[in-house]
Structure 1
Amino acid sequence: MNAGEITPAQRTLITAAVILATILSSIASTIANVILPQIRASTAAAQDQVSWVLTSYLLAGVLVTPAIGWLESRFGRRNLMLATIVGFGVASMLCGIASNIFAMVAFRVLQGGCGAIFIPMAQAILLDINPPHKHGQAMSIWGMGAVLGPIIGPVLGGWLTDNLNWRWVFFMNLPLVVVAFFMIGAALPAERSKVARKFDIFGYVALALGLAGLQALLDRGPGQEWFASTEIWIELSVCLLGLWVFVAHLATTAHGALFDRRILSDRNFIVSSMMIIFVGILLFAGAAVLPTLLQSLLGYPVLHTGIVQIPRGVGSFLAMFLVGRLMGRIDSRIIVLLGVGLTGWSYFEMSHFSLQMDERLVLFAGFLQGLGVGLVFVPLSALAFATIAPTLRTEAASLFTLLRNVGSSVGISMVGALQIYNSKIVQSRLLEQATPDNQNIVAAGVDLTTVQGLASFARGVVRQAAMVAYIDSFHLLYWLCILMAPLILLLRKPKAPADA
């Protein structure tokens, strides 16, 4: 399937079909953020366990993504997309009926594994059905679909939870799955049979063990006192050994490796891949903790929590609209630099959150963040694939998505771990000041000689410590933006599109 074989009407239908699949994936990855407190209460999950609802989805994507190139060659794009659409719908239904946190996480793994197929396949399909000079425009149109999830997800999740139940957040995927199934079945042409290359099971197992060890290390670390635990040392060893074996295997295998080594010789792809890890962290880490902050510390209802996150999605949507018109007229590297600057500004503003603030700062910082990430994502994707041969696009898109998911998963776990750790430290320091003769406490009208006074002080300490921990996390993400910026200097403006 290439651009010359596709009619304009067929191109439009294919574009709509793969964008709908992308919307399903982006909604599923963001809609659960706003209902984490409800899931935790309903499933009796601990604070460090409830984040698995997010990270399990992303980790499943990380583990499935490396196999997408082989799956496509084995089953064909049309069959693969149809099968995973059905699997995604079944997993969504099972998430909705899950009765405990372990069942929920298991079904989110299935949902994430199926949903992981959609984004790289959508990118590869759109690049194939559009001529090279329209690749930037195609990616911006796809990007608009991708950011509809962050716009729709939080508000829809809040409304469904308020008016029905948090379980309907998963049930509502089912009608969309039916529509997507029939659209993809009608839009994607049946492909000629292919000879599937041999699957690199050794490389896949090594990579899967390395990434699973990394995720387990980050998720379990806070509850196991990090390297004071034998379990954490085992997970670190599995992570390092698996990744080392995978890299050595990839470097020494001439044919049949999990990823074609020609992809790794493309400078723009390598630099863009390094940057997309940062983008994954910046895109998901802040969004994952913000709903909990708004609900638990500021007392926002779940629907209002979703509404105040709309500007973030609107900013992303506006950025995609602008990028489609700016690319080709302005150097894409300048657009990426502007996006990184706006994202850093947003996290700098978020590092000024307080327990006394109103929602204006949340709205403003969210809009800046959405605008910034949107300006980074599309041109960075275009630069990454600009000089990749068409025959390698599916593998390249899979690797690119894999690294973004790794960044997202690591970012969520990292911020969650820092939240628990920093909150304990700040609580300890504040409690050291809990003496009846402390003038600040007396001035606040708190009497530590009574049970009510001690309880009031304890509640205040917990809230203040949690807010300080959130601020520290946002400040860290601000510094990550600064560290990411110099990588832009390593990108090159492509001279010509890749040859077939």
Structure 2
Amino acid sequence: MAEAADKQPKGIDPHNVPHRALIMASLMLAVIMQVLDTTIANVALPDMRADLGASRDTINWVLTSYIVAAAIVTPLSGWLANRFGRREIFMVAVIGFVVFSMLCGIAWSLDVMVIFRLMQGVFGAAIVPLAQNFMLDINPREKHGQAMAMFGAGIMLGPIIGPTLGGYLTEVINWRWVFYINVPLGMIAIAGSAFFLPETPKKKIGFDFFGFAALAVAIGSLQMMLDRGSDLDWFASREIWIEAALAISGFWVFLVWILSAKKPFLEPKMFLDRNLSMGLLFIFVIGIILLASLALLPPMLSNIFDYPTLTTGLVMSPRGVGAMIMMLLIGRLVKVIDLRILVVVGLSLTAYSLHIMSTFSPQMGPKWIIISGVIQGFGLGSVFVPISTLAFATLAPEYRGDGTALFSLLRNIGSSIGISIVTALLTHNIAVNHSEIVSAINPQNLSGVMNGASGMSREAALTVLNNLATQQAAMISYVDDFKFMMWVTLAAIPLVFFLRKPDYQNSGGGQKPQGAPVTE
């Protein structure tokens, strides 16, 4: 036993980490590769459907299988890292992700593609939380803000450039390259991780199968419900009712179990850390805002503004540039400015950008789309870095593995819920607004259109008016969604007062806290 203990790797000393820059670069390549895959495949679905012989409904399983598998496995990453070593699990995750990305690219049928995407989600689930955990551990607490700025840039960059890159690869080469693009990125990340990642101690800990099973059923059912709800008309479908019941039951059983079990899957004591609990709530809200707005803009710009795919990507890209610029700036400001002030500023900028978006009209040019995108990028960048820092500022290192897993999970669930809500609101409001607008059509409107275009028949005039009514109803509905997200953002501001200031900021930021090596 003594020899085994001697062979265990020592904890990571954040003040003495060789090759820190190369480690962070390797981690960020893996993060960008994984996050990119959450959106890059969306634009390639029509081409995939034709090649794989799938229907419009069944092709969505290419997305659903990945999302559900990743959601279920994400909470498991903390336990796996503690039991088998964080370096080892991270390496397996990246290698598995690259292998199944390549297999997705050569898939010859829908069934095979869904299986490969499911496995891609299983392996990719651990990449983001373990990378965040490493970046927190290899940097002293007073440098966590700078580390989270780099981490946040990768998290924000993926969803923003994913649709543009996916559209370009699909149009210029073919859809299979949205998966092959992961191979070179992954190979560099694997090489860097193999050479530079430090080892962490392994713990012989038991596995709470019942607790994990309850949580897996809950998360899997919730993601299935959110992903398929819009296609099945939500609670008009029996499947959605079943998935909702399983999700509620699973979460209830999991909650009762972790509060009563001796060694639960997730230690409930970590939720007593106020910053972690509030940080999880904030990242949930950020998930709603980030991907919900990204889900609304492409169809709006394509269907109402008549922008081609590449133009849509170019108009939306300044959002990512704004986020990255602000994150790099915030990474330096966290040492001198109260992080809670930065969160309030970021949420205020985000709310203002959504207010601008609520004034969009089909007659305007791209100017205000770009301006609102840059402001929203500034806002989200100002929020993500402080929240990522504050959430773990007071958390005991032994809970960090599970904490980063939950942080990633809540961001993804927030994204799914946000997309589902705004999509459902959009569909409902378009029907209501169209009905109200059409009811205002009268013989005077009709004759005006017919007189404006000589020789136009009554049927053609009705078609023109209906198309205009549809466009106007859709635009009003998009604007209503942007207003809804603005109020959600403003409602999150009071929660800032529940966050605690990190110790190194209380001491003025000048003195470096010594701390012990991380031995989780």
Same fold by TM-score greater than 0.5: yes
Alignment partner, residue 159 of structure 1: 168
Amino acid at match of 2:205: R
From 173, 198, 201, give the equivalent of 2:206: 198
> Do structure 1's residue 403 and structure 2's residue 410 form an aligned pair?
yes
Contact 1:448 1:454 (C-alpha < 8 Å) held by counterparts: no
State the 1:11 CA deviation. 1.6
Question: Retained in 1: the 8 A contact 2:273–2:394?
Answer: yes
Q: In the alignment, which residue of structure 2 is the partner of 1:419?
A: 426
User: Residues 115-150 of structure 1, C-alpha deviation per residue, up to 9 Å, x if partnerless?
Assistant: 221111111111111222222222223223333434
Alignment of 1:260-275 (within 5 A): 260-275=267-282
Change (3 A) 1:397 1:478: same
Residue 160 of structure 2 contacts residue 294 of structure 2 at CA under 8 Å; is this kept in 1? Answer: no
Q: What residue identity is the alignment partner of 2:215?
A: L
SS of 2:486's partner is helix
Match of 2:480 among 435, 458, 472: 472
Deviating more after overlay: 131-140 vs 219-228: 219-228
Q: What is the CA distance between 1:181 and its match in structure 2?
A: 1.4
Structure 2 match to 1:248: 256
More moved, 24-33 vs 268-277:
24-33
Contact 2:145 2:332 (C-alpha < 8 Å) held by counterparts: no
Deviation at 1:488, TM superposition (A): 0.7
Amino acid at match of 2:225: L
- Provide structure 1 residue ranges, at least 5 long, that are not aligned to the other structure: none
Q: Distance in 2 between matches of 1:365 and 1:292?
A: 17
| Distance across 2 between alignment mates of 1:420 and 1:48 | 18
1:236–1:144 distance in 2 versus 1, CA, 3 Å:
closer
In 2, Cα distance between the equivalents of 1:312 and 1:444? 44
The match for 1:259 is 266
2:226 and 2:416 in contact (8 A); partners too: no
Give per-residue Cα distances to partners, 1:381-419, cap 9 Å, x unaligned: 111101111122111111111111111111122222222
Distance 1:295 1:324, change over 3 A: same
- 1:238 alignment counterpart: 246
Aligned counterpart for 2:153 among listed residues 144, 148, 156: 144
**Quick one: which of 181, 185, 202 aligns to 1:176?**
185
Q: Hey, what does 1:111 align to over in structure 2?
A: 120
User: Closer, same or farther in 2 for the Cα pair 1:423/1:5, shift >3 Å?
Assistant: closer
Change (3 A) 1:305 1:476: same
1:429 Cα shift? Answer: 2.9
1:211 shift after superposition = 2.2
Superposition deviation, residue 191 in structure 1 = 4.9
CA drift at 1:111: 2.8
Q: 1:215 to 1:152 in 2, by over 3 A?
A: closer
* Residues 435, 448 of structure 1: 8 Å contact kept: no
* Distance change >3 Å, CA 309–CA 272, structure 1 → 2: same
Q: Mapping of 1:92-491 within 5 angstroms? A: 92-97=101-106, 106-150=115-159, 152-191=161-200, 194-255=202-263, 257-438=264-445, 442=449, 445=452, 449-491=457-499
SS of the residue 2:362 aligns to: coil
Gap change, CA 1:279 and 1:106, over 3 Å in 2 = farther
2:416 maps to a residue whose letter is S
CA contact (8 A) 1:436 1:449 kept: no
CA RMSD of aligned residues (A): 2.9
1:350/1:377 CA distance change after superposition, 3 Å: same
Cα distance 1:68–1:353, how it changes in 2: closer, same or farther (>3 A)? Answer: same
Rounded Cα–Cα distance in structure 2 between residues aligned with 1:300 and 1:92: 30
Structure 1 position 430, deviation (Å)? 3.1
Contact 1:2 1:128 (8 Å CA) reproduced: no
Partner of residue 90, structure 1:
99
In structure 1, give the amino acid aligned to 2:417. Answer: V
Partner residue, 2:5: none
Structure 1 283/247 Cα, relative in aligned 2: closer, same or farther at 3 Å? Answer: same
Alignment CA distance shift 1:418-1:369 (3 Å): same
CA 1:43–1:371: 2 relative to 1, 3 Å: farther
- Give the equivalent residue in structure 1 for 2:74: 65
The residue number in structure 1 matching 2:35 is 26
How far, CA to CA, are the matches of 1:448 and 1:203 in structure 2?
A: 68
For the pair 1:494 / 2:498, whether they are aligned, the reply is: no
**Once the 2 structures are TM-superposed, how far is the Cα of residue 4 of structure 1 from its aligned partner?**
2.9
Partner Cα distance (1:103, 1:476) in 2: 40
Following the alignment from structure 2 to structure 1, what is the Cα–Cα distance between the partners of residues 276 and 399? 12
1:87 aligns to what SS in structure 2? helix
Post-superposition Cα deviations, 1:306-355, rounded to whole Å, max 9, x if no partner, equal 11121111111011111111102010000001111111111111122222
* Range with bigger deviation, 481-490 or 470-479: 470-479
Q: CA deviation at 1:199?
A: 1.7
CA distance in 2, matches of 1:280, 1:68: 20
Cα distance in 2 for residues equivalent to 1:101 and 1:441: 51
Q: Secondary structure at the match of 1:144?
A: helix
Change (3 A) 1:215 1:450: same
> Helix, strand or coil for the counterpart of 1:166?
coil
- Of 424-433 and 478-487, deviating more is 424-433
Normalising by the residue count of structure 1, what TM-score does the alignment of the two structures yield?
A: 0.90
Question: Which structure would you say has the larger Rg?
Answer: 2
Q: Is the 8 A contact 1:347 1:478 kept in 2?
A: yes
Question: How far 1:8 moved relative to its partner?
Answer: 5.3
The alpha-carbon deviation at position 357 of structure 1 amounts to: 2.1
Structure 1 CA distance for aligned equivalents of residues 49 and 448 of structure 2: 33
Rate the CA distance shift 1:381–1:436 in 2: closer, same or farther, 3 A.
same
Distance 1:49 1:348 in 2: 37
| Distance change (3 Å), C-alpha of 1:484 and 1:32 | farther
Ranges in structure 2 where 5+ consecutive residues have no aligned partner: 1-9, 505-512
Shift of 1:239: 1.6
CA contact 1:151–1:314 (8 Å) conserved in 2: no
Contact 1:34–1:157 (CA under 8 A) maintained in structure 2: yes
**Separation in 2 of the partners of 1:135 and 1:304?**
37
Structure 1 window deviating more from structure 2 (484-493 vs 231-240): it is 231-240
Letter aligned with residue 386 of structure 1: A
- 2:503 partner SS: coil
CA contact (8 A) 2:11 2:200 kept: no
Q: CA deviation at 1:43?
A: 6.8
